[in-house]
Structure 1
Amino acid sequence: MHVIPDDPEGGNNDDYLTSRRQAWFAFAMTFALMFFDFVDRQVIVSLFPHIKSDWNLSDKQLGSLVSVISIVVGVGGLPVALVADRMGRVKSIVVMAITWSLATISCMFTANYSQLFVARAMVGVGETGYGSVGVALISTLFPKRLRSAALGIFYAAPSLGSVLGVVLGGMIAARWGWKAAFGVVGVPGLVLALLYLFVRDYKTVALTPSPNQATQSLGGTLKHIFVAMARTRTLLWVCVGAAAQLITVSAMWSWLPSYLNRFHGMAPEAAARSAAAVVLVSAFGCTFWGIVVGRLALRTPRNKLSALSVLCLITSVILVVAFGGSYTGDAQFKLILLGGFFMNCTVGLVAGVAMDVIHPGVRSTGAAVLSLFQNVLGLAVGPFLAGVLSDQWGLQWALTVIPLFSILAAVLFVIAMRSYDADVARISDVKLDVAPALADTLSAGAAT
């Protein structure tokens, strides 16, 4: 990929689209927003025991309070990403962060399940498209050789944010009531949204070297985009594989505090801390596997997919044994911790693979397709399906069955290897350029 920097530091930028400093500032801000995105999203799981007690809800209803966000994010992500790819990623992210933060704060004023469900859906409206747009921005500002590592670190943010959300939720609920937790965690996103105005975007590039009348109209552009992505078979297989693995991850993240509360006899606050430890280990695993697999596959990038397949198989074996075997107490919890280290392995690597094969002009949109599958067929399914199975068979058996989806993920990643090289070659000569920071543009506009 050829790079044409437009700033004074660009001549010695080591293949960064802009200067190294500006790229890492963009990364830090995008990471921070993703972190608080998941604080807001996951704070509710440590509140399940309190909400269940106060409102007498079923496990299916509790699971739906998590799943609704993923459904809204998945369904709405594609149109938002289409707008972001044409109008600018930074503007879109600022609007999204303000929206989901205000919606989170509104959850503290709900009086029943229906109101809380609607408020959580509005959190999803704000988060719609954020992950895919952020991935497109990072993938384009950073050199390709650092893509897997950067996205591996970036996708540790959901795990780390979930840890803080779960811990804070348990602590705040124990002291000031469970509704107060939503008010506390919603504020930081508003502050970060204002700081994000100083992030550099990249200029939107044409989908074809010489745009014709067919691609200048809205309908023609949409058709061109979807035809181009439909031809990218690697993306489609990777999307389904990523979703299958996230069924396992989301079920564990959502139901582990309740499992420890019911089967290990822990108080809700203590169960939240222990579950947060598992999520923290999975955050480390996400970064670790992103860096390690990225380095091992430098010479043969398609081997990232075979590595993902192996890691998914390991995840399934460990978690099925942990919940379905004879292990109890500390021995069982150590197995769950080990499973946590492997289960989040796919997130950063899958995004990196997707960015490898998607045209830069539609990276936000392509990432939104990935997000659609991950959210609707992965993150939304896990908590809800585990809740349904728990109501029927009990939570222990539900968490024994769910990790079998990781085997399906392993098979799909192997299939994706067959088309990877051809899809990468198709976009290897696209040129890119950097755009000024939105804050600079606003200042220049005000001056004139």
Structure 2
Amino acid sequence: MIFAPLFGYLGDRYSRRWIMAAGVFLWSLTTLCGSFMNNFWWFMLFRAMVGVGEASYSTIAPTIISDYFIGDVRSKMLALFYFAIPVGSGMGYIVGSETAKAVGQWQWALRVTPALGLVAVLLIVFVLEDPERGQSECSGHIEATPWLEDVKDVVQNRSFMFSTAGFTCVAFVAGALSWWGPSFIEMGIKLQNSGDVDSDSVAYKFGIVSMLSGLVGVPLGSLAAQRWRNKCQRIDAYVCAVGLLASAPLVFVACVAARYSVDLCFALVFFAELFLNLTWSIVADILLYVVLPTRRSTAEGFQLLVSHALGDAGSPYLIGVLSEAFKIGMRSENSTTDDTDLAKFKSLQYALFSTCFVEVIGGLFFLITAFYIIQDKHKVEQAVNGSTRHPRSEQEEQLQVETSNAQQLLVNNSDERNIS
């Protein structure tokens, strides 16, 4: 989260291939090293370093895709790329639980992926070509501008800011559900029968549901946007809004159903996450066409910072705090209650209801995005098509207009004298 803006700055100015290769290598190495740490603080340090490596890749990779493709083709490639987030998260539950079960040590769950990371580094170094920034949109060279000017432009971009706010709500809900979902479902199973609950089995099933929802949701959102884009230029923002507003009631009913039917709960979670996953590739697509090519890594870094800081970095903790507060409130209302399992379930259930409220807010943010998205997209198109050097400031644009008007006035006066 903290290093994302730094990699955004580097990604707009230096070799993106080597930055990504170094990031994935750090990511893989620290994952492996962390699995051998016996001291808690050393373990925390290496897990934090994993995030640093991830930031380098997540910030820069979408901008390379944007420089290879444009239009609907870019949307399809982004859908394929962001396919990895929900699918990888779901596979994390599956591989982690099954590896730990097979070996008898949870540390081995962290020793599976580094080999894949090494393969990725080799592919980045020897296969990937770093394209010219803006290559897919213009034939000329666009020079980078000062970083503070980039940040100012990004912050003043209303489509980007409101879509980032909506995506932060997506990250908030996704983080809360991935952290508390399996535990909450376990509590519901305990209330249905008195038998023992297999935590690994619940995590495994939750992982499968998350993965399938990603397999369907991410490409479905992209295809829906592409299907209607010719008829409605604001369709990207509308699809994201519909996804969040449709997911909210499904999350609510899933929280209620967990106490009565596990199968129904998992089915509702699947559809809730499916609608939530509609937004992943579309938000990335919005960023890429409302931000100039030389500022896209900076925008990606800013979006990662905001969405993590206000989204999934804090949502698990906030849900836990709310759960404890509701538990204390229920104890004060009924001091004779000794059904602790029911109290834990209800308190966490009430806390998870807050995610529905966040989804509604996110949907409203995307609806606001729809008001500005066409205007901001046209600004980028004009800047890219009208300049082969670097984007001009508003003052320069105004000066250019005034100069052109003055030149035209002189020409007209000259023509009148010639006629006379």
Same fold (TM over 0.5): yes
Question: Would the alpha carbon gap of residues 103 and 324 (structure 1) be closer, same or farther in structure 2, given more than 3 Å must change?
Answer: same
SS in 1 for 2:381: coil
Alignment equivalent of 1:228, drawn from 153, 163, 170 = 153
**Residue of structure 1 in register with 2:304 after alignment:** 371
Question: Would the alpha carbon gap of residues 205 and 274 (structure 1) be closer, same or farther in structure 2, given more than 3 Å must change?
Answer: closer
| TM, length-normalised to structure 1 | 0.73
For 1:105 and 1:205, locate their aligned partners in 2 and report how far apart those are by CA, in whole Å: 37
The code of the aligned residue for 1:240 comes to A
**Residue of structure 1 in register with 2:381 after alignment:** 428
**Residue of structure 2 in register with 1:383 after alignment:** 316
**Residue of structure 1 in register with 2:208 after alignment:** 277
Give the CA RMSD over aligned residues: 2.5
Runs of 5+ consecutive residues of structure 2 not aligned to the other structure: 191-196, 327-346, 389-420
Question: Would the alpha carbon gap of residues 114 and 390 (structure 1) be closer, same or farther in structure 2, given more than 3 Å must change?
Answer: farther
For 1:243 and 1:336, locate their aligned partners in 2 and report how far apart those are by CA, in whole Å: 20
For 1:105 and 1:90, locate their aligned partners in 2 and report how far apart those are by CA, in whole Å: 23
Q: How does 1:32-431 map to 2 (within 5 A)?
A: 74-176=1-103, 177-197=105-125, 198-204=127-133, 221-265=146-190, 266-283=197-214, 284-324=216-256, 327-393=260-326, 394-429=347-382, 430=384
For 2:366 and 2:240, locate their aligned partners in 1 and report how far apart those are by CA, in whole Å: 7
Deviation at 1:210, TM superposition (A): 10
SS in 1 for 2:233: coil
SS in 2 for 1:87: coil
Deviation at 1:332, TM superposition (A): 2.1
The code of the aligned residue for 1:114 comes to W
**Deviation string, structure 1 residues 307-341 (Cα, Å, up to 9, x no partner):** 21121111011101210367532222221222121
Q: Is the 8 A contact 2:239 2:278 kept in 1?
A: no
SS in 1 for 2:2: helix
For 2:141 and 2:74, locate their aligned partners in 1 and report how far apart those are by CA, in whole Å: 28
The code of the aligned residue for 2:66 comes to S
Q: Which has the higher contact order (CA 8 A, sep 6+)?
A: 1
Q: Is the 8 A contact 1:320 1:404 kept in 2?
A: no
**Deviation string, structure 1 residues 331-371 (Cα, Å, up to 9, x no partner):** 22221222121122211111111111010111111122222
Q: Is the 8 A contact 2:171 2:307 kept in 1?
A: yes
The code of the aligned residue for 1:403 comes to C
Question: Would the alpha carbon gap of residues 339 and 204 (structure 1) be closer, same or farther in structure 2, given more than 3 Å must change?
Answer: closer
Q: Is the 8 A contact 2:7 2:56 kept in 1?
A: yes
Deviation at 1:287, TM superposition (A): 1.7
**Residue of structure 2 in register with 1:70 after alignment:** none
Deviation at 1:268, TM superposition (A): 2.1
The code of the aligned residue for 1:404 comes to F
Question: Would the alpha carbon gap of residues 402 and 226 (structure 1) be closer, same or farther in structure 2, given more than 3 Å must change?
Answer: same
**Deviation string, structure 1 residues 111-152 (Cα, Å, up to 9, x no partner):** 254333222111111111321211111122112222223222
SS in 1 for 2:111: helix
SS in 1 for 2:232: coil
Instruction: Work out which of the two has the higher radius of gyration on C-alpha atoms and give 1 or 2.
Output: 2
Q: Is the 8 A contact 2:169 2:361 kept in 1?
A: yes
For 2:362 and 2:166, locate their aligned partners in 1 and report how far apart those are by CA, in whole Å: 4
Runs of 5+ consecutive residues of structure 1 not aligned to the other structure: 1-73, 434-448
For 2:117 and 2:158, locate their aligned partners in 1 and report how far apart those are by CA, in whole Å: 36
Equivalenced residue count is 353
Q: Is the 8 A contact 2:163 2:369 kept in 1?
A: yes
For 1:146 and 1:210, locate their aligned partners in 2 and report how far apart those are by CA, in whole Å: 22
**Residue of structure 2 in register with 1:31 after alignment:** none
The code of the aligned residue for 2:18 comes to K
Q: Is the 8 A contact 2:91 2:208 kept in 1?
A: no
**Deviation string, structure 1 residues 63-120 (Cα, Å, up to 9, x no partner):** xxxxxxxxxxx22111111111100211111010000111111221122543332221
Q: Is the 8 A contact 1:170 1:268 kept in 2?
A: no
Question: Would the alpha carbon gap of residues 112 and 405 (structure 1) be closer, same or farther in structure 2, given more than 3 Å must change?
Answer: farther
Q: Which is further off, 102-111 or 406-415?
A: 102-111
Q: Is the 8 A contact 1:88 1:204 kept in 2?
A: no
For 2:272 and 2:239, locate their aligned partners in 1 and report how far apart those are by CA, in whole Å: 16
